[in-house]
Amino acid sequence: MPNPIRPDIPDLLALRPQAAGIRLHARRIGAPLSGGHVSTFRGRGMEFAEVRGYQPGDDSRDVDWRATARRGKPYTKLYREERERPVLLWVDLRAAQFFATRGCFKAVMASRVATLAAWAAHAQGDRIGGLVFCEREHREIKPRRGKAAMLHFINQLATHPAWDRGYATAIGEADRALTAALERLLRVALPGSLIVLASDFHGLRPEHEALLAQIGRHSDLVFLVTHDPIELAPPAGRFWFDLGHGHERSLDTGNATVRSRWQAQFAAHFDQIENLGRRRKARVLRCATDDDPATLLARGL
């Protein structure tokens, strides 16, 4: 049975067969390409296909001058739309993700859904890269194709120092880490990328929404929002939460007013993310800590 506290490399490798039913589709953008065709991909580049003899109507900018000089008559370079795309997995391992009352930690769920998405991308021949981060360390993974790239992503995720949690985080450190991780993502995301963001989006503020809007202008976004069932519908009782910076907070859900406010707070948080998703035409999936990640992604994507 998979470890509910931290993923290990064999657990993440074992997810590969479960990704068989998952398809990562870019949404239809409707941007015209030369020749009157419609691209289903956003901002995809063009790759060289072959050289043939010049024909009337060919764009002079596509003349292959080397082939022309070598053969004594004009030749044209032909291109095809580049179908291979980068798929970036952005995985949040901040302190708030190390929580669960059922199933596994939110951080573990984020890791599993991101790895399943990566396996699906690998099966489609896409390039796999991403960013795995916590308050203290950001690991950037350059997009590459093939099994070695997949294994590198899994290794970087499973060996991240966040899993050891041998430190306390200072107040404000989690927010700064979120800002830095989004700024890094903005810098590394190539046009036409599919970006899968696995996080509880704790501390999401307007400046973070602005960064996500910039990232989503030229890329497709998928929000995988981790949560524990108690966050949506807490039972009556008193609960203690580790705030991650040497402080704890108690919550008395036996008080109906307190329970109602708590539920309203999380409902507003989900509404914030779903509204952002609608504005960016992004998919938003709620990932509970006791969900089956493969079933969730197969149905939601």
pLDDT digits (tens, 9 = 90+) for 31-83: 333 333 233 334 445 556 678 898 887 888 889 999 999 999 999 987 655 55
pLDDT digits (tens, 9 = 90+) for 118-159: 999 999 999 999 999 999 999 999 999 999 999 999 999 999
Give CATH 3.40.50.410 domain extents, the chain.
Answer: 9-26+84-300
β-strands 248-252, 127-133: how paired?
Answer: unpaired
* Cα(157)–Cα(153) distance, integer angstroms: 6
Strands 138-144 and 127-133: antiparallel
Specify the pLDDT at position 223: 98
Give the separation between CA 299 and CA 301, rounded to whole angstroms: 6
Judged on CB neighbours under 10 Å (0-12, 13-18, 19+), 2 is: middle
The C-alpha atoms of residue 181 and residue 209 are separated, in whole angstroms, by 13
Domain covering 9-26+84-300: architecture: 3-Layer(aba) Sandwich (3.40)
pLDDT for the residue numbered 255? 77
Res 238: pLDDT:
76
pLDDT above 70: residue 168: no
Q: What distance in Å separates the CA atoms of residue 109 and residue 226, rounded to the nearest whole number? A: 7
Span 186-205, pLDDT tens digits: 999 999 999 999 999 999 99
CB 39 within 8 A of CB 81: yes
**Please, what's the b/e burial string for 151-165 (b: 16 or more CB within 10 A of its CB; e: otherwise)?**
ebbbebbbebebbeb
Asked if 288 and 105 touch (Cβ cutoff 8 Å), the reply is: no
d(CA 8, CA 107): 13
* Cβ-proximal residues to 8 (8 Å cutoff; 6+ apart), any chain: 158
For the ranges 18-22, 28-32, 35-39, 247-251, the maximum mean pLDDT occurs at 18-22
**Cα–Cα distance measured from residue 69 to residue 31, given in angstroms and rounded to the nearest whole number:** 36
Residues 6+ apart with CB under 8 A from 103: 4, 109, 228, 288, 289, 290, 291
